[in-house]
Structure 1
Amino acid sequence: MSLLNVGARALLANQVALQTTGHNIANVSVAGYSRQNVVMQTVPGQFTGAGYIGKGVQVATILRNHNELLTRQAAAAQAVQAADTTRAERVSQLQDVFKGGTSGLGAAITDMLNSLGDVINSPTDITARTVSLTRMDEMAARMRSSAEQLQQIEGAVNEQLKTDVVRINSLAGSIADVNEQIARVKGNGQTPNDLLDRRDQLIRELNQYVQTTQIPADDGTVGVFVGGSQALVLGATAAQLSIDESQLFPGSRQQGLYFVRAGAAPVELNDSMLGGGEVAGLLRFANQDLAEGRNLLGRMALAIGTTMNYQQKLGLTLDGQPGKALFALPAQVTGATRGTSQGHIDLGNSAALSPTQFAASDYEVRFANTGSAGQVVRLSDGKAFAFADLNDLRSQKIDGLTFDFDAAHPPTAGERVLFQPFAGAAANLQMLVYSPRDLAAANPVNAAMGTTNSGTLQLAGLKATGLQWNGVSSSVQTTGSITAPPSPTPPATGGGVTLTFNANGEFNLGGTTGTPLDMNANPPVLLAGPPYAYVPGQAIHIDGWSITLQGTPADGDTVKVGNALDPQYGDIYTRNAGNAGALQQLRDVKMFDESTLADGYAGLMAQVGTRTQSAAYAAKLSESIASNLEASRTAVSGVNLDEEAAKLIQYQQAYQASAKMLQVAQTIFDNLLQTMGR
């Protein structure tokens, strides 16, 4: 009987081994399956006077080949890879918006500026003026088109975020269900291998969307946490995540992930708290990369529109009227806050703006816990600008912008206000001037050299600048207007401003005029004099206009600057294109991070391209790390068909030998019965 029992136990044990091997082979393609092995142990022997007689073998347990450390490391690495890959894909779409070539925005800007050349050559040519206005309209249209493409990307990202959150909540519910099943069967003393595989696979899938940490409990369940400490799954209970606009800055278009648990207020998890996962990558793209793209485009639109409007208003139309704004721009941008203050940046006041100082960034005004002191933080690089109170803040021009708060609605202690001055500028850029006669191509002033001049003095440039001395603040103010030389009364007597040079090469001013400005000083000051120093090639700034002279004057040489609308000059102003020249010269102004207006778009493409290259490199690196860790995990847990086939033969032979043992035992038992029967 003992031999029969030994054979029966061996047969059953090898049958379990064959079944387990078949189970491994059947699940070779199942994601997350961990290879299982049968652990056999010897049945304790029976004591006899001759010693312990063996009683065979039995199955101790079914072992799951699993390394907890490798599994967690692989899941975390896959979360980082998902975040980097998703961000790289979206940044690549962002790069496609800012394309080069003839269909790009850069070509439209160049064509617009170049078209002014024909107006300069032929100021009264209506066709040339029409072409120039058409090029301006095309530039504005491409600005709006680029902004619309960014909005489409933003919409797609928001929809993907919502879809991902639905999937996260579904996976969290599934993990809670598996937790419950594991807790129920854990009490039988054996490990539910397939349920554990199922839970690990669900957690790996969850990490594709949001990075998690896991903490095991005594009952066999696992707590799954997101954002560092928020329990998404605890035992058999699952919380929920939701995606919505940031609560900190309502109306800012910034997205936030919220942890929602029954009976508690939602907790916002920003992208820096999430670590990895597709949601983290999308939030980083939406709140950082896409925001930078919007700001770069908006800064360009606002700077071009502001400077061209400014210069256009300084000139004269073909009908002798002051120019009107070329482009419609947002008049004001208000701050987003949960507090009570009302802050704004005035974008319609040229005196409050310095486009050459614009930085493509959002700004956050952070007030101290006491009083109205605080700091303005440029979010693109974290640089802070301190202020003592609201008046001090109002007096500062930070990156060419003036931040103003309504005294009737003061900020609360610790309040934070977000400003996005460039976010909507490109989307709202519209052409306002469509009549070619309304292009202000003419200078509001003209100049003539004295008829008796004996030196080599020559006129090199004359244009309206709008730069005037502010007697209140003792500084140069950008007013956007000029004080034209007065018209004579009666016209026949002549008039204007006369520059008279002496033997030392200095000049005095005659006529009603203010003191010239020294724009080479930093900050600019009033020019010392009279008499005033003359430097060939250096512009002389007076009353909102400037004149540039070349050559060496002789004693008594004069230059007269007059009002272009003075009746004594007739319609000469219609054949003057000085202001069109000033508009075209804007292309050489350093406006975008030391790049000229003409080269600004190339700089924008370079910045977006650098960000795209960096994102692609990060995605490639994280993919390599994730692949290596997954390979290490698979080496422990994966099913090798060759190995399983060898085991199948091994256990088959053992099974057959066990059956042979039963056959031998049966023969012996039959012989014994026959012998005893005799």
Structure 2
Amino acid sequence: MSNLLNVGTRALVANEVALQTIGNNIANANTVGYSRQTTVLQTVEGQFSGGGYIGKGVDIATIQRNHNEYLTRQAALSKSVSASDIARANKLLQLEDIFTGGKNGLGAAVTDMMNAFSDVASAPTDLTARTVVLTRADEAAARFNDAATQLTNLQTGLRTELENSVDAVNTLTSSIAAVNLQLQQARGNGQSPNDLLDKRDNLISQLNQYIQTTSIDAGDGTVTLFAASSQPLVLGVKSNPLSVQTDPQDNTKTQVAINFGNQTAVLSEDMLGGGEIAGMLKFQNKDLAEGVNLLGRMAVSITTVLNAQHQLGLDLDGNAGGNLFSPVNMPNGVGATFNTGTGTIGISVDPANVAKLAASDYTVTYTSAVAFTVTRNSDNTVVTPDPVTGSYDGLLITPGGTPNSGDSFLLRPYSNAAADIGIAFASPRQLAVASPVQAAMGTTNTGSLSVANLTAKSVPIPASVTLTFTGANTYTRSDIAGTFTYNPGTAIPYDAANTASGWSLTMSGAAQIGDTITLGPANTSYAKLNAGNADALMDLRDLALFDGASLADGYASLMSQVGVRVQSVQYTAEVSKSIADNLETSRTGVSGVNLDEEAAKLLQYQQAYQASSKMIQIAQTIFDSLMASVGR
């Protein structure tokens, strides 16, 4: 009798626990990180009798956590990669918004400035037309300044977001360490603390949203979490906090470091792998840096070539032109913290190679006390100096001090260019649009000679030189002995050995013996009426400056480079998100709660519970009948 009652009681308790577990599943169906639990039942060992083994009912073996470790790790990893790509894509969209097109964009301002010279070319003495040029130049400078300010604000906002993300990481790692302690303490009871394990897995999943981690089971109920391949974020019941600090070589950039007591280790974005922090650092060190360099190079190139050409003209008072824009001063190289020498590095633009300027930072590394290599950081290419001027990608490097072998310097030539650009003067009379050189054809010429192009190469213009034609294709010069060959359309330099001096003349037509042309400094009346330098300034629109793109198309090229990067990263973000969603679906397929399935089990165990109750009721009835019979 007691055996029947015991079997019924055990069954009643087991089915009640099963119902309670199912109810817990249903209650947590929408709880993030919850893993479905299952009551595992086992048969109580039977008792031997002469007629065989008699069963003694059922017992609860454990409450099983439906969980796949591999899928959980893969889901967390893919979520981390997706978070990195999405964070970077969102920041790139903000960068793209800075470089807008249309009439309010920087490109339109530069185009309007260059086109304004056409009105001055038509009316060189018109002060209104000259004022319009200066106004357009000032507007272009203001657009550069505004874009630089927006880039600075973007960097400032990025640092704030990094600090918030680091705070979240520190909170999560502290929580994981605390759960590790609870799991370590609960390990001795012999049963799996399912809810604590779910809590820890959920915390690790949240942590991977910010920083990608790898985990190792320590064997004592705790897990060790590593970031950047080898840096321990959580060691058992202790966590190591992250911090945000300024890059010692570039105070505009931010670094994330892990702290071990009094020591810190910087986490490279390349080593971090995934997570929002990695995405933001990649944006800062690659995308934002390129945006700053593209804008800065554009400012440096435009100011350099316009200033150089403006200096080759005469203003309304006959004075040689000065700078149109204030010259951009490039900052000196910043020495690495490990340098042992006292060396310095100065940088400036090579006027002869402005078209070679590359939108990049550079690293100068000394291989001896006097020799160094220059590496372009954007593609890690060692740059070969120009054989004539010795410049590197259009940059002149001026070493100073006493460096030692192994010393290194970071060069950021374009970091302040867009913020510093501004017009150099305000008076329209100072606009040097007149050519300082003039040509006078001989009054007795009989041929069809005409000036196709006359360009000043330096100021002041040398004394007058007369070319006298001794034949259809030969001429002599009043300043140099000898006979020279004339080819229509071919430039005649003032000094063939130094083409950057004096002037350059291109003629068309046929010459006759005795024809002459005299070239020399422009007289005062001619300087006021001609606009040769305004034409030369307008011609700069077609000058190839930006990786083959013309000055006029430079901003469009900049927008294109940023736009291509945005599209590429957005596509990557979409793919990584799809992968993360699929893996999360696979994980929840194992660990998630299916309400239909739980409802079916609820009915199953409800009936088993009722049957168990009926079994106890029957045992009670039999016992009562037995007692009644004995009482008679």
TM over 0.5: yes
Separation of aligned partners in 2, 1:532 and 1:268: 67
Q: Match for residue 288 of structure 1?
A: 286
User: Contact (CA 8 Å) 1:239, 1:260: kept in 2 or not?
Assistant: yes
User: Contact (CA 8 Å) 1:310, 1:350: kept in 2 or not?
Assistant: no
Report deviation, 1:244: 1.6
Q: Match for residue 79 of structure 2?
A: 78
User: Contact (CA 8 Å) 1:394, 1:403: kept in 2 or not?
Assistant: no
- For residues 573-612 of structure 1, what are the alpha-carbon distances to aligned partners after superposition, in whole Å with 9 as ceiling and x for unaligned? 1111111111111111001111110011111111011000
Separation of aligned partners in 1, 2:389 and 2:195: 69
User: Contact (CA 8 Å) 2:347, 2:413: kept in 1 or not?
Assistant: no
Separation of aligned partners in 2, 1:259 and 1:309: 48
Q: For residues 311-460 of structure 1, what are the structure 2 equivalents within 5 Å?
A: 311-337=309-335, 338=337, 339=339, 340-347=341-348, 351=351, 354-368=353-367, 370-385=368-383, 396-406=390-400, 408-410=401-403, 412-460=404-452
Report deviation, 1:60: 0.3
Separation of aligned partners in 2, 1:446 and 1:306: 25
Q: Match for residue 90 of structure 1?
A: 91
Question: 1:556 is matched by which residue type in structure 2?
Answer: G
Report deviation, 1:241: 0.8
User: Contact (CA 8 Å) 1:505, 1:555: kept in 2 or not?
Assistant: no
Q: Match for residue 30 of structure 1?
A: 31
2:579 counterpart SS class? helix
Report deviation, 1:312: 1.1
Separation of aligned partners in 2, 1:504 and 1:395: 38
Q: Match for residue 670 of structure 1?
A: 624
Q: Match for residue 581 of structure 2?
A: 627
Q: Match for residue 471 of structure 2?
A: 503
Report deviation, 1:663: 0.5
What is the number of residues matched between the two proteins? 622
Separation of aligned partners in 1, 2:37 and 2:474: 99
User: Contact (CA 8 Å) 2:345, 2:409: kept in 1 or not?
Assistant: no
Normalising by structure 1, report the TM-score. Answer: 0.89
Separation of aligned partners in 2, 1:329 and 1:6: 96
Separation of aligned partners in 2, 1:48 and 1:2: 13
Separation of aligned partners in 2, 1:167 and 1:551: 78
Separation of aligned partners in 2, 1:3 and 1:394: 106
Separation of aligned partners in 2, 1:85 and 1:262: 33
User: Contact (CA 8 Å) 1:311, 1:579: kept in 2 or not?
Assistant: yes
User: Contact (CA 8 Å) 1:329, 1:425: kept in 2 or not?
Assistant: no
Separation of aligned partners in 2, 1:404 and 1:439: 33
Q: Match for residue 517 of structure 2?
A: 559
Report deviation, 1:310: 1.0
Question: 1:266 is matched by which residue type in structure 2?
Answer: T
Question: 1:319 is matched by which residue type in structure 2?
Answer: D
Q: Match for residue 549 of structure 1?
A: 507
Separation of aligned partners in 2, 1:627 and 1:22: 28
- Percent identical across equivalent pairs? 50
Separation of aligned partners in 2, 1:252 and 1:364: 16
- Label 1:154 to 1:42 Cα distance change in 2 as closer, same or farther (>3 A): same
User: Contact (CA 8 Å) 1:364, 1:379: kept in 2 or not?
Assistant: yes
Question: 1:531 is matched by which residue type in structure 2?
Answer: T
1:254 counterpart SS class? strand
Match status 1:202 vs 2:203:
yes
Q: Match for residue 586 of structure 1?
A: 540
User: Contact (CA 8 Å) 1:106, 1:602: kept in 2 or not?
Assistant: yes
- Label 1:415 to 1:119 Cα distance change in 2 as closer, same or farther (>3 A): same
Match status 1:68 vs 2:56:
no
2:232 counterpart SS class? strand
Report deviation, 1:62: 0.5
Match of residue 650, structure 1, among 604, 618, 623:
604
- For residues 524-554 of structure 1, what are the alpha-carbon distances to aligned partners after superposition, in whole Å with 9 as ceiling and x for unaligned? xxxxx94333332232222332122112222
Match of residue 533, structure 1, among 473, 485, 498:
485
User: Contact (CA 8 Å) 2:462, 2:502: kept in 1 or not?
Assistant: no
Report deviation, 1:627: 0.7
Q: Match for residue 153 of structure 1?
A: 154
User: Contact (CA 8 Å) 2:83, 2:279: kept in 1 or not?
Assistant: yes
Q: Match for residue 485 of structure 1?
A: 462
Report deviation, 1:343: 3.5
Two-structure CA RMSD over aligned residues (Å):
1.7
- Label 1:530 to 1:34 Cα distance change in 2 as closer, same or farther (>3 A): farther
Report deviation, 1:449: 1.1
Structure 1 regions of 5+ residues with no counterpart? 467-481, 487-495, 514-528
Report deviation, 1:507: 2.7
User: Contact (CA 8 Å) 2:330, 2:416: kept in 1 or not?
Assistant: no
2:383 counterpart SS class? strand
Structure 2 regions of 5+ residues with no counterpart? 495-500
User: Contact (CA 8 Å) 2:333, 2:347: kept in 1 or not?
Assistant: no
- Label 1:322 to 1:94 Cα distance change in 2 as closer, same or farther (>3 A): same
Match status 1:600 vs 2:551:
no
Normalising by structure 2, report the TM-score. Answer: 0.96
Q: For residues 169-208 of structure 1, what are the structure 2 equivalents within 5 Å?
A: 169-208=170-209
Separation of aligned partners in 1, 2:554 and 2:384: 30
Report deviation, 1:483: 4.6
Question: 2:261 is matched by which residue type in structure 1?
Answer: A
Separation of aligned partners in 2, 1:508 and 1:99: 56
Q: For residues 572-583 of structure 1, what are the structure 2 equivalents within 5 Å?
A: 572-583=526-537
- Label 1:570 to 1:99 Cα distance change in 2 as closer, same or farther (>3 A): closer
Q: Match for residue 11 of structure 2?
A: 10
User: Contact (CA 8 Å) 2:350, 2:391: kept in 1 or not?
Assistant: no
Report deviation, 1:670: 1.1
- Label 1:102 to 1:73 Cα distance change in 2 as closer, same or farther (>3 A): same
Report deviation, 1:395: 6.0
- For residues 352-406 of structure 1, what are the alpha-carbon distances to aligned partners after superposition, in whole Å with 9 as ceiling and x for unaligned? x6221111111111223x544342111112211368xxxx999621111111210
